[in-house]
């Protein structure tokens, strides 16, 4: 069963762990919504459908022809990500009355873990960094990628609708884009005589919707991508999430907080945040992107 980190946090009795998970997902539309499948072992092997079986009409006495789907077998391995947070014992003893230093330091490390995950989620490339996992750009089927033009172009609502339709088997469950692209979509909607739908998420933050699809803003989608002769381009992603679409992978228990304890070389105690995680795309038709979006 796939759970989001937000739901997983509700199952934890560890106050520090719950606080870290809340810190990680608070400002991340990706970690708020992408479900994670718990797996036992260091990886997952699955079959991605290439071609669906066909059906035909037959007359009485016809010879029936068999048609089976074809698959590509893929393996995704879990990767180790995280970091150590050291708390100085002197400061802990003399200043903890002003602020919970352990929580403050660990939360800062948690934000670093979130930033690393979100960056890798978009641009991760195992061929560049074998310790990381492949992100959206590498998991993407090239046939699912559409463009604003050879040298990019100005976004239109028609093109955004084409991106939405590129995801098959239902609407996308998230449109992920940069802040600049979100401003462009808002302006286009306003100029067309309508406004984007808005609502509050579970963290009390305002969330915008396009055609009923949540818009997620990522600070890790560059607005300086090169397309043809243009160097001011960005990308908009659309995808469905879940066990048959795009999902995260994690070990049972998800994110872990480990108190390493006192250090030998300095007067400090260490807390380790670690996460064995990866990303899998079970159906190539559930992920699409629009490249070359210019201001």
The pLDDT-based confidence of 166 (bands split at 50, 70, 90) is: very high
| Mean pLDDT of the residues in the chain | 88
Q: Packing angle between helix 15-26 and helix 101-123, nearest 10 degrees?
A: 40
Q: How far apart are the C-alpha atoms of 174 and 198, rounded to whole Å?
A: 14
CATH 3.30.1930.10 segments of the chain: 140-242+284-294
| 268: its two tokens | 């400090």
Cβ neighbour number for residue 19 with a 10 Å cutoff: 18
pTM confidence score: 0.88
CATH 3.30.2400.30 segments of the chain: 2-50+73-134+244-281
pLDDT number for residue 8: 66
Higher pLDDT, 22 or 250: 250
Asked if residue 96 has pLDDT above 80, the reply is no
pLDDT number for residue 225: 97
pLDDT number for residue 107: 82
Q: How far apart are the C-alpha atoms of 96 and 112, rounded to whole Å?
A: 23
CA-based torsion, 245, 248, 249, 250: positive or negative: negative
Asked if residue 202 has pLDDT above 70, the reply is no
**Long-range pairs, 92-97, Cβ under 8 A, ≥24:** 92/269
* Count of alpha carbons within 13 angstroms of residue 280, beta-carbon side: 29
Q: Taking Cα atoms as reference points, which of 26, 33, 12 lies closest to residue 255?
A: 12
Asked if residue 49 has pLDDT above 80, the reply is no
Domain over 140-242+284-294 is classified CATH 3.40.50.300: no
pLDDT number for residue 12: 65
Provide the CATH topology of domain 2-50+73-134+244-281.
Major capsid protein gp5 fold (3.30.2400)
Q: What is the pLDDT of residues 51-68, one digit of tens each?
A: 778 888 999 999 988 888
């Amino acid at each position: 069963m796939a759970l989001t980190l937000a739901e997983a946090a509700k199952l934890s009795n560890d106050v520090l762990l719950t606080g870290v998970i809340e810190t990680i997902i608070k400002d991340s539309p990706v970690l708020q919504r992408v479900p994670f499948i718990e797996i036992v072992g260091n990886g997952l092997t699955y079959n991605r459908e290439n071609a669906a079986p066909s059906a035909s009409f037959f007359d009485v006495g016809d010879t029936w022809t068999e048609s089976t789907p074809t698959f590509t077998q893929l393996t995704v391995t879990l990767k180790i990500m995280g970091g150590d947070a050291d708390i100085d014992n002197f400061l802990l003893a003399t200043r903890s009355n002003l602020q919970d230093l352990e929580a403050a330091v660990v939360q800062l490390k948690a934000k670093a873990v979130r930033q690393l995950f979100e960056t890798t989620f978009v641009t991760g490339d195992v061929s560049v960094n074998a310790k990381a996992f492949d992100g959206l750009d590498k998991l993407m089927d090239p046939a699912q990628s559409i463009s604003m033009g050879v040298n990019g172009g100005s976004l239109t609502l028609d093109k955004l609708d084409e991106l939405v339709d590129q995801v098959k088997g239902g609407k996308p469950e998230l449109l992920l884009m940069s802040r600049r692209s979100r401003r462009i979509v808002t302006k286009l909607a306003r100029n067309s005589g309508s406004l984007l739908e808005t609502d509050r998420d579970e963290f009390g933050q305002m969330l915008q919707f396009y055609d009923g699809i949540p818009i997620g803003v990522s600070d890790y989608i560059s607005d300086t991508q090169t397309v043809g002769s243009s160097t001011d381009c960005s990308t908009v992603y659309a995808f469905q999430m879940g066990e048959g679409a795009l999902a995260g992978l994690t070990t049972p228990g998800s994110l872990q907080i480990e108190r390493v304890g006192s250090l030998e070389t300095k007067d400090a105690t260490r807390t380790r945040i670690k996460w064995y995680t990866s990303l899998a795309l079970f159906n190539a038709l559930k992920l699409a992107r629009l490249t070359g979006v210019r201001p």
